[in-house]
């Protein structure tokens, strides 16, 4: 049983930055993948960034070079640093935890947070 809770969303102008946090109720970084997904208004949920227990990271092409995923394993907290935000980044952002090797495969993520809203204006 794992509970995830996102925070750090908000409204910013284009070019701004936000750091999202995801707090887990217990250890999620052993033999696992953790990730950030997002769902823009009227669109399907998509992968943003993921990191696994051997510290391999993957980023969607749309955010590569602008977003950074990291974790504090001792505190069971996952982060997403978002720089150079653009209006197309507007979405509900979710953190998720699942099995090792899940990468972008949403069915392999068993635990999901409730989401935090990010809104970027022009």
Q: What is the 3-state secondary structure (H, E, C) of 52-96?
A: ECCCCEEECCCCCCCEEEEEECCCCEEEEEECCCCHHHCEEEEEE
Question: What are the tokens at 8?
Answer: 């750090």
Mean pLDDT calculated for residue range 24-44: 88
Decide if pLDDT at 13 tops 90: yes
Yes or no: say if 78 and 95 are a contact pair by the CB < 8 Å rule.
Answer: yes
Decide if pLDDT at 27 tops 80: no
Selected residue with higher pLDDT from 101 and 89: 89
Decide if pLDDT at 80 tops 80: yes
Instruction: Kindly state the percentage of the chain with pLDDT values over 70.
Output: 98
Q: Tell me, what's the pLDDT at 100?
A: 85
Decide if pLDDT at 31 tops 80: no
Decide if pLDDT at 113 tops 80: yes
Q: Tell me, what's the pLDDT at 95?
A: 96
């Amino acid at each position: 049983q794992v509970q995830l809770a996102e925070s750090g969303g908000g409204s910013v102008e284009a070019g701004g930055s936000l750091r999202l946090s995801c707090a887990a109720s217990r250890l999620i970084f052993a033999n696992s993948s953790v990730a950030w997904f997002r769902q823009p208004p009227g669109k399907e949920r998509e992968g943003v960034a993921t990191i696994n227990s051997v510290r391999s990271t993957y980023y969607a092409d749309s955010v590569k070079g602008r977003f950074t995923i990291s974790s504090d394993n001792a505190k069971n907290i996952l982060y997403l640093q978002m720089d150079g935000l653009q209006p197309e980044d507007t979405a509900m952002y979710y953190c998720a935890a699942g099995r090792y090797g899940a990468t972008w495969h949403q069915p392999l993520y068993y635990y999901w947070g409730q989401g935090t809203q990010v809104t970027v204006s022009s």
